[in-house]
Amino acid sequence: MAGERAAIRYAKAVLSLASDKNAAEAVNADMTLIANTIAESKDLNGVLQNPIVRSSVKKSVIQEVFKNTNALTGNLVDTLISNKRIALIGEVAKQYSVLFDQLKGSQIAKVTTAVPLTAELNAKVLAKVKELTGKEVEVQNIIDENILGGFVLRVGDMQYDASIANKLNKLKREFTLN
């Protein structure tokens, strides 16, 4: 929890600085790359999280993996190293992308379904979410067979659960109370 709050603070600071220098888009590309790479590589994440590995080694690993990044991204790495917070870099990168999307007026709508969305359903979801939020939205389809049918829509901190599993759980609770 404390790490997440710190990551948000670092992300806000970097976004503010990047916006002032008209480099927010380039830094966002770096942050997306960093977040995805750390999420996909258990070895890289393990090195960053390991307290036994020296900060200088962590810095050289990050500089080697992410060679062609913006100078502001390099400054963020230096700041995280000097503050002994380099383990937060993946979370900072994720938070930066979220804040950048909010700045640009777009959001990610996560739609969980039992089967993949068709193009027609995807277009309907996009239209409905844009109507509800008034913002540009990118739909991310998550497939979870456990919901049985229907969908769960999550945009920011709002969630609408129209899944069959949810309805069955409600029925189960009603029957157990009676």
**pLDDT digits over 69-123, tens only?**
888 888 988 899 889 888 899 999 999 888 888 888 777 788 888 888 888 888 8
pLDDT at 91: 92
Percent of the chain with pLDDT over 70: 98
* Single pTM value for the model: 0.67
40-64, pLDDT tens digit by residue?
989 988 988 888 989 889 888 888 8
In degrees, rounded to 5, the angle at the alpha carbon of residue 28 between the alpha carbons of residues 140 and 141 is: 5
Query: What is the C-alpha to C-alpha distance for residues 65 and 39, in angstroms, rounded to an integer?
Result: 14
Paired strand residues for 66: none
What single-letter DSSP state applies at residue 84?
Answer: T
The domains located in the chain, with CATH, are: 2-102 (1.10.520.20), 106-177 (3.40.30)
Residue 12: C-alpha distances to residues 49, 79, 91, 128, 173 (Å): 22, 14, 12, 30, 43
pLDDT at 106: 74
| Among 105, 110, 104, 80, CA closest to 92 | 80
Q: pLDDT confidence of 178, banded at 50, 70, 90?
A: low
Amino acid identity, position 73: T
Residue 150: C-alpha distances to residues 30, 73, 93, 127 (Å): 36, 41, 32, 18
Query: What is the C-alpha to C-alpha distance for residues 97 and 60, in angstroms, rounded to an integer?
Result: 24
Q: For the sheet containing 136-143, what is the strand order?
A: 136-143, 106-113, 150-155, 158-163
pLDDT at 13: 92
- At residue 141, φ and ψ (nearest 5 deg) are -90, 125
